[in-house]
């Protein structure tokens, strides 16, 4: 067969190829070990000597031509197949992801973690204590004598054996002070506390507190204010704060820390009951009687004590209008808080 005929035949077969397999076969038919080109070259001996060279040149040109043509067609077919496959693999990306959706900590836990992170910067460590307490650690040791209103049966859950459910986490501080600690002492305690009250939107029989004490030589009122300001600013940013006199039996002087209402910027609104300020911290210098109870000389050592209502902080964090839902195990609420669902 002449080179021209071979080329013509190749073209006729090439246009008939309908798949990648047929193209690969055509390639093998022409360029393979037993293909048309090799076969023609092997028959060069039968051609007159003067025709061999032009035949060989023409055959090599044809070989290069076929290689170029068929490679191009194969690439085209491969691209077409790839494109078809990819198109077939189309996914509707508007559907939601299917990984396991992460859960979330309770807002109260988040608040406690934030508070602890701030207190750690000041060198505070966390200590734990019992929830079932005795009257000494809950009241007497904290300068809440028997006639104090906080000891009323109505306010405290009393248990068998004269025990009670702690009404504040200050009991842990009493226990730490009673353990003959070395100074400086910086400890925080947090957890459940109980009040035997009628439950309503703003009162719960069980809620959470976080408290801290710092005992050392030379601590004074300015240090108390500095510490409280540090805590308040670390937790709430640079919103203005103010100090005001308060009364707690176990501190003297006692201090309340107010944060300017973020909603009305101090102008007064329903959220802050028109005050323009929201109380965030209760604190004070540890009362001399408390020191005396545990064998410290109040003339030698002094101390800072403060408490945060973490339940209220958590409800403020999530803009919950009442406290009870925080303890309602309502997944729709927790989803809404963390995922907006």
| Closer CB to another protein, 35 or 268, in the complex | 268
98 binds another protein (CB under 8 A): yes
d(CA 326, CA 318): 10
Contacts 24+ apart (CB under 8 A), 39-48: 40/1, 40/6
Among residues 20, 44, 58, 126, the one that binds another protein under rule CB under 8 A: 126
Among residues 45, 149, 295, 340, the one that binds another protein under rule CB under 8 A: 149
Instruction: Say what the alpha-carbon torsion angle 173, 176, 180, 185 is, to the nearest 10 degrees.
Output: -70
d(CA 290, CA 254): 14
Tell me how far CA of residue 48 lies from CA of 6, 54, 60, 304, in angstroms.
19, 11, 18, 116
255 binds another protein (CB under 8 A): yes
157 binds another protein (CB under 8 A): yes
Phi, psi for residue 62 in degrees, rounded to 5: -65, -40
d(CA 285, CA 302): 7
Binding letters toward another protein, positions 158-197, x by CB under 8 A = xxxx-x-x--------------------x-----x-x-xx
Q: Radius of gyration (Cα) for the chain, nearest Å? A: 42
Shortest CB 296 distance to another protein, Å: 14
Joined tokens for residue 24: 């690969």
Joined tokens for residue 104: 């979330």
222 binds another protein (CB under 8 A): yes
Shortest CB 301 distance to another protein, Å: 13
Q: Which stretch binds another protein (CB under 8 A): 18-26, 83-91, 173-181, 269-277?
A: 269-277
| Closer CB to another protein, 59 or 164, in the complex | 164
Among residues 69, 114, 136, 221, the one that binds another protein under rule CB under 8 A: 221
Q: Which residues pair with 44 in a beta bridge?
A: none
Shortest CB 30 distance to another protein, Å: 43
330 binds another protein (CB under 8 A): yes
33 binds another protein (CB under 8 A): no
| Closer CB to another protein, 156 or 169, in the complex | 156
| Closer CB to another protein, 84 or 205, in the complex | 205
24 binds another protein (CB under 8 A): no
Residue count of the chain: 341
Phi, psi for residue 131 in degrees, rounded to 5: -90, -30
């Amino acid at each position: 067969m002449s080179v021209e005929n071979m080329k013509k035949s190749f073209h006729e077969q090439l246009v008939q190829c309908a798949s990648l397999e047929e193209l690969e076969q055509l390639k093998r038919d022409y360029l393979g070990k037993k293909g048309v080109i090799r076969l023609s070259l092997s028959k060069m001996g039968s051609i007159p000597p003067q025709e061999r060279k032009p035949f060989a040149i023409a055959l090599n040109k044809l070989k290069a031509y076929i290689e170029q043509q068929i490679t191009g067609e194969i690439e085209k077919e491969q691209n077409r197949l790839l494109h078809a496959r990819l198109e077939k693999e189309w996914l509707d990306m508007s559907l939601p992801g299917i990984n396991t959706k992460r859960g979330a900590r309770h807002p109260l836990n988040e608040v406690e973690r934030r508070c602890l992170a701030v207190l750690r910067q000041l060198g505070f460590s966390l200590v734990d204590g019992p929830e079932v307490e005795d009257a000494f650690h809950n009241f007497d040791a904290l300068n809440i004598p028997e006639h104090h209103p906080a000891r009323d049966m109505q306010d405290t859950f009393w248990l068998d054996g004269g025990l009670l459910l702690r009404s504040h986490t200050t009991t842990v501080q009493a226990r730490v002070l009673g353990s003959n600690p070395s100074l400086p002492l910086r400890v925080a305690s947090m957890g459940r506390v109980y009040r035997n009250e009628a439950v309503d939107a703003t009162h719960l029989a069980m809620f959470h507190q976080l408290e801290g004490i710092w005992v050392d030589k030379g601590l004074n009122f300015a240090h108390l204010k500095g510490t409280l300001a540090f805590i308040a600013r670390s937790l709430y940013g640079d919103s203005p704060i103010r100090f005001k006199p308060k009364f707690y039996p176990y501190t003297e002087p006692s201090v309340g820390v107010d944060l300017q209402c973020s909603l009305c910027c101090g102008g007064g609104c329903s959220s802050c009951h028109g005050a323009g300020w929201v109380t965030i911290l209760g604190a004070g210098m540890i009362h001399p009687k408390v020191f005396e109870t545990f064998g410290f000389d109040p003339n030698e050592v002094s101390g800072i004590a403060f408490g945060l209502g973490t339940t209220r902080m958590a409800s403020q964090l999530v803009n919950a209008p009442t406290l009870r839902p925080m303890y309602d195990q309502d997944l729709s609420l927790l989803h809404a808080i963390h995922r907006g669902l």
